[in-house]
Copies of this chain bind each other. A is one copy, B any other.
Amino acid sequence: MSRWEPNARERLAKAALELYSERGYERTTVAEIAKQAGLTERTFFRHYADKREVLFDGSNHLQDLFVKAVGEAPPSAAPIDVVAAALEAVSEVFVDRRPFARKRQAVITANAELRERELIKLASLSAALTEALRLRGIAEPAASLTAEAGIAVFRVGFERWVAPGEERPMWPLMREALAALKAVTAGA
């Protein structure tokens, strides 16, 4: 018999999302989250660096997926097609996650601090993508710009995918966004 209930980290993440949804991020204290999870405030900060981070536990996983997909693309593929392949691979793991994503995104969108954190996670993703593209022999600034463009497509596609009423799967939305970007940068 264990001394404590297992899965402290997951309990904290769940409690945080619930409370942020109900009362709003700002009117929720860390002490309340910890109490809801049957823990203390100090333990919360042992699992998450700060009050925002608890909503971004999956971002490392997402980043790994992107990098892995880039690494597995055919060697001959053009940079933009590598990114497209990564977007397709990533889209798959979001199937069945839309209800959770919507709840989480509503919380993030409602608070500036959380939007900041989301942006730096996307920037980190972009940096990892840049590095993965460079490993394929793509030079700067093409690598950075391809990565930034890919993240821009991901952002726009994701926004539409979580939008209320939207029911199409993620990949077609990403493909549309990518096509729109290509059309726009083509010049006229």
Mark A residues whose CB is within 8 Å of B: 78-81, 112, 115-117, 119-120, 123, 141-142, 144-146, 148-149, 152-153, 155-156, 160, 176-177, 180-188
Number of copies: 2
Structural contact, A78 and B115, CB atoms closer than 8 A: no
A116 contacts across to B, CB distance below 8 A: 116-117, 119-120
A120 contacts across to B, CB distance below 8 A: 112, 115-116, 119
A17 to chain B, nearest CB (A): 21
CA distance A146 to B80 in the complex (A): 16
Structural contact, A184 and B79, CB atoms closer than 8 A: yes
17 residue pairs of the A-B complex, CB under 8 angstroms, read: A78-B187, A80-B184, A80-B185, A81-B187, A141-B156, A142-B183, A145-B152, A145-B153, A145-B177, A148-B148, A148-B152, A149-B149, A181-B185, A182-B185, A185-B185, A185-B186, A186-B186
Structural contact, A142 and B184, CB atoms closer than 8 A: yes
A94 to chain B, nearest CB (A): 19
A187 contacts across to B, CB distance below 8 A: 78, 80-81, 182
A81 contacts across to B, CB distance below 8 A: 187
A82 to chain B, nearest CB (A): 10
A123 contacts across to B, CB distance below 8 A: 115, 119
Structural contact, A184 and B152, CB atoms closer than 8 A: no
Q: State which of B112, B119, B181 has its C-beta within 8 Å of the C-beta of A149.
A: B181
Residue from A116, A123, A142, A182 whose CB has the most chain B CB atoms within 10 Å: A116
Given contacts A116-B119, A119-B120, contact A145 B180 (CB under 8 A): yes
